[in-house]
């Protein structure tokens, strides 16, 4: 039975911030040491990011933000534009904004994904799998999708929380398992991350790096084993078949990437050693995935046509490219996603896969293999083999 992703669509908040402007904002915060200022400049300038999106309306460039008092009340919460200060709201305040802003993004991404999947209607959805590590509330995003999309109240709902940047892979793996168990299943997978709610001014190197790369966004995928439909007019005239998944832990790195809850937001540990650890161990982490495919066993990783690598940062992409001898063309979808959106944690790799899915529908080879991977706390490496296939007549 062939299980495939029929569509992937995305949504980002309306506030777009330029990397240079955010760099200058953090540089201007009072109390920054000279070393911290050098680190801020280096981290932001070397990020390969042009712009990011945020739900923090106070950063839209106007004194009161897009929503002004209607959104935050009389006093600024995250950013005081008049004073030029990045503020430090409590974790409860940050999470309240997460709960308020999450629904609009997941519903937009999900509606777009359902509209882009030929032959699939909202009423066909049997399972919902939501993913997030940047906030909590209940009833949560899974409930909102069922209610607001008009799905059956009997829709099965699952939420994967606090797994980090690799969590789209367990979600897709679960979706595939649901479809194997029920050939008529249609699974809606939605990742949403509002990372910017937890960014703060600091002299700490890990916090500086996090502030230079993380952003907000949502992505939704429709997964099913039903017979696909395709048409030249549809962006889903191509599918991504889910062939195989693997997960592994690197021998080192447990303390180098972590995500904890503090009194003033969630706190990221992202040490400077992470790219080196990934570069050193990525070959062995991928080996079980490639060895399990008779067409790839014994061949170099670069023999795979297309790649969707989670762009955790420019240096991570550089290390993976060098370690696996990948071409600039193979890295282009990941690098472009990083440049245009930054790192949206779990949602990011779906942004990359969306590029490949739409490119497949637009033309080129009828069938190409895809390797996707992401990295997260642990240090965990999740990977998958997919087949990009254009449908007959597409």
- Using an 8 Å Cβ cutoff, are 26 and 201 in contact? yes
Token reading at 318: 């550089």
Other Cβ atoms closer than 10 A to 121: 11
Annotated catalytic residues are: 165
- Using an 8 Å Cβ cutoff, are 387 and 370 in contact? yes
Which DSSP letter does residue 84 get?
T
CA–CA–CA angle 352, 256, 347 (5° rounding): 20
Token reading at 83: 């004073």
Q: How far apart are CA 356 and CA 7, in angstroms?
A: 11
**What does DSSP say about strands 85-86 and 79-80: parallel, antiparallel, or unpaired?**
antiparallel
Q: How far apart are CA 297 and CA 275, in angstroms?
A: 26
Q: How far apart are CA 26 and CA 35, in angstroms?
A: 13
Query: HSE (CB half, 13 Å, CA atoms) of 16?
Result: 9
Picking from 231, 196, 229, 240, the residue whose alpha carbon sits closest to that of residue 214 is 196
- Using an 8 Å Cβ cutoff, are 97 and 55 in contact? yes
Q: How far apart are CA 192 and CA 347, in angstroms?
A: 6
Q: Radius of gyration of the chain from Cα atoms?
A: 21
Token reading at 266: 């969630």
Picking from 192, 182, 170, the residue whose alpha carbon sits closest to that of residue 224 is 182
- Using an 8 Å Cβ cutoff, are 355 and 219 in contact? no
Question: What is the full DSSP assignment across 143-193?
Answer: HHHHHHHT--TT-EEEEEES--TTTHHHHHHHHHHHHHH-TT-EEEEEEEE
Q: Is the peptide bond before 127 cis (omega within 30 degrees of 0)?
A: no
- Using an 8 Å Cβ cutoff, are 368 and 390 in contact? no
């Amino acid at each position: 039975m062939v299980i495939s992703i029929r569509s992937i669509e995305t949504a980002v908040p309306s506030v777009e911030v330029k990397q240079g402007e955010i760099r200058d904002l953090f540089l201007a915060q009072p109390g920054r040491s000279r070393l911290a200022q050098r680190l801020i400049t280096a981290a932001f300038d070397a990020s390969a990011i042009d712009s990011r999106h945020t739900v923090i309306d106070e950063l839209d460039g106007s004194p009161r933000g897009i929503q002004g008092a209607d959104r935050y009340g009389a006093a600024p919460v995250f950013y005081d534009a008049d004073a030029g200060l990045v503020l430090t709201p409590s974790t409860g305040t940050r999470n309240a904004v997460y709960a308020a802003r999450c629904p609009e993004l997941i519903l937009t991404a999900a509606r777009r994904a359902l509209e882009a999947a030929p032959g699939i209607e909202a009423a066909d959805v049997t399972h919902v799998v939501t993913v997030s590590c940047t906030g909590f509330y209940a009833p949560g995003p899974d409930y909102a999708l069922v209610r607001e999309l008009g799905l059956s109240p009997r829709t099965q709902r699952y939420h994967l929380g606090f797994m980090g940047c690799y969590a789209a892979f367990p979600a897709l793996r679960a979706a595939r398992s649901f479809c194997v168990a029920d050939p008529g299943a249609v699974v809606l997978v939605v990742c949403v991350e509002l990372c910017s709610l937890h960014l703060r001014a600091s002299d700490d190197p890990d916090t500086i790096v996090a502030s230079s790369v993380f952003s907000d966004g949502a992505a939704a995928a429709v997964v099913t084993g039903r017979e696909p439909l395709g048409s030249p007019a549809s962006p889903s005239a191509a599918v991504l078949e889910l062939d195989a998944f693997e997960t592994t832990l690197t021998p080192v790195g447990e303390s180098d990437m972590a995500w904890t809850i503090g009194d003033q937001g969630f706190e990221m540990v992202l040490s400077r050693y992470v790219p080196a650890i990934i570069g050193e161990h990525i070959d062995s982490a991928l080996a079980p995935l490639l060895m399990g495919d008779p067409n790839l066993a014994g061949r170099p990783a670069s023999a795979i046509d297309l790649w969707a690598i989670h762009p955790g940062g420019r240096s991570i992409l550089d290390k993976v490219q060098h370690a696996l001898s990948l071409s600039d063309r193979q890295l282009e979808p990941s690098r472009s996603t990083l440049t245009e959106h930054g790192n949206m944690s779990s949602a990011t790799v779906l942004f990359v896969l969306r590029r490949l899915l739409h490119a497949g529908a637009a033309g080129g080879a009828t069938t190409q293999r895809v390797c996707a991977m992401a990295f997260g706390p642990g240090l965990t490496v999740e990977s998958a083999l997919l087949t990009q296939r254009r449908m007959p007549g597409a």
